[in-house]
A and B are shown apart, each in its own frame.
Chain A
Amino acid sequence: MNKKERAAKQGERPFRFHIVIFFVGMLFTVTLWDAYSNGSRPLDQTIASTLILIMGSLFSVAAGLFSWSLETRRSFLEGEVEKRTHELNVKNEELVKKNEEVENFIHIISHDLKAPIVSIQGFASILKTELGTALQGVNLDYFNRIQANAHQMSSLILDLLEFSRVGRMEDEKKAVDTTELLKEILEELKPEIDKRHIGVQLGDHLPILWGSRKRLMQVFTNLIGNAVKYMGSPRDPKIEIGCYGVNGKNLCTLRVKDNGIGIKKEFQDKIFQIFQRAPNALKVEGSGIGLSIVKKIAELNGGRVWVESEEGKGSEFFVDWPVVPSTSQELKHSLAA
C-alpha cells in the first residue's frame, strides 16, 4: 500500500464521524443562542443552565475531535503494521532466496573442487598399482605425500560444507539418550581407542538430551575423537565422559576429560575459531574446523562449549546442552515413537 492509499484510508471514516459530531454540536449551540436572542426561551433562562448547554456543545466538539484523533491514530498504526509486515515478508523471502543461493553456490564449489581430487586420487592409485615395486624410496615418499595432500583437501572440503550447513539447515529435534549415543560413538572409535590402549569411563545416569541426534553425534564424535587423537603417550591413557548435572536453565553440563597432551593457555580460546589449531608436537593432522562446528552447534542449541586444560596433563571439554523437560508433551510423543 502506498502513502496516498494509506492517507485515504486514514481519512475516510474518522473524518465523517468527527464532522457529524462537530456540526450537531454547533447546530445545537446556534439554535439555543437564536432562541435565547429572539426571546422565545425554550428552557429556563438561568446562567447555570446556559453554561451547561455551552459546555455540552463544547464537549461534543471535543469528543468529536478526540474520536477523530483516535481513529486517525488507529488507521495510521494499522497502516504501519501492514507496512512493516510487508517489509518483513519481503526480507524473509530475500533471506530464503539468499540461503538457497548460498547452498547452491557451496554445492557447486564443492563439486568443482572435488572433481579434480577424484582425478588425482584415481590416477595416482592406478600409477601406484602399475609401478608396483618400481616405486620406492624417496619417490614412494613423494607419491604418498601427493595422495595424503589430496585426501586432506577432500576432508577440508567436506568439513567446510558441514560448517556451512550447520545453522542454515533446519534440524529435527527430539529426545536423545546420551548413554546410547555415546556408546555408539565409542564403538565407532573402538579401533583407535584399542590401538592406543585408552581406558574409557562412561558416567552413570546420563540425561536425556533435547536436540538433533545428528548434531549431538557430531559434537561428541569431535570431542572424543580429539581426546583420542591428542592423547600422546601418558602412562595410563584414559578418557572420562560424564555429566555435571542440570542447572536452572534446563541445561546440563557434559564433559569429556582426557589425560593427553593438553593445550597451552594462550590457545584455549582460539581452538574454537575456524581454521585455528593449537600447535602440537604429535603433528596430528586436521582441518581446524571440527571444534568450530562443535561451538556453532552448541550455541545454536542454546548451549556453549569451553575447555579447561593444562599442557602435558590433559584437557577437559565442557558442553552445556538442553535436557528434555520432564513435563514436555513433545518428549512423551518422542519417547513413545
Chain B
Amino acid sequence: MKRIFMIEDNEDHALLIRRAVESDGCAVTHYPDGPTALKACEKIQSPDERADLILLDLKLPGMDGFEVLQGLKKLKLFEQVPVVMLTTSRRREEIDKAYQLGASGFVVKAEDFAELVAKLKQVKEYWFSAVEPPYSMPVASVREP
C-alpha cells in the first residue's frame, strides 16, 4: 500500500482530498500544519515508514508551504520523495518558486470534485509508476499551466 502524507490546514479540503486519494487503496496521513509534519518526518528513520508522495498545501498558517518544502528537502530520507503542491490559485510566481525549491508538481484545487479526483489520480499514477528511488522522471508533465 502506498503512503501519502497530506499537509493541509483546511479541514474541509483535507477531508475532500483524503476521500479523493484514498478511493484506490492509499493510506493517507494528515498533518494540519508545517511544524507538526516536519517533526513527524524527522522522527522517521526507516524508508519503510516514509511517504511515497507528499501533498503539501501552499498557504499554511505560520510556516507556509515553501518553508515546509525546504524543510522536507533537507531531510535525507525525504529528499527524493515527490512533493506535489496544492493551491487554490494559479499564480505564476508561486508555481515557479515551488519548482525552484524542488516541488515535483502543482495541483490547483478544482471546484468540481470529480475533476479534483481525476487530477490527484493522474498525480498518483505518474509518481507511483516511477522507478523508485530516486524518482527520476521529468516533472513537466504534471505541471499545471
Question: Interface on A for B, CB 8 Å cutoff?
Answer: 107, 110-111, 114-119, 121-123, 125-126, 150-151, 154
Contacts and interface: CB of A to CB of B under 8 A. Distances in A.
A110 B94 CA distance: 15
A191 B75 CA distance: 51
Interface stretch (B10-18, B97-105, B127-135): B10-18
Nearest to B111: A121
A150 B111 contact: yes
A150 B110 CA distance: 13
B91 interface: yes
B74 interface: no
Interface of B: 10, 12-13, 16, 19, 59, 87-89, 91, 109-114, 116
B59 A154 contact: no
A114 B114 CA distance: 17
B89 A123 contact: no
Contacts of B114: 125
Given A123-B12, A123-B16, A126-B19, A118 B111 contact: yes
A153 B16 CA distance: 20
A119 B88 contact: no
A138 to B, nearest CB: 24
A118 B19 contact: no
16 contacts: A110-B89, A111-B87, A111-B89, A114-B89, A115-B10, A115-B13, A115-B88, A118-B12, A118-B88, A122-B12, A122-B111, A123-B113, A125-B113, A126-B113, A151-B111, A154-B111
A119 B59 contact: no
A233 to B, nearest CB: 31
Contacts of B16: 118-119, 122-123, 126
Contacts of B87: 111
B131 to A, nearest CB: 33
A123 B10 CA distance: 14
A174 B14 CA distance: 44
B75 to A, nearest CB: 28
B116 A122 contact: yes
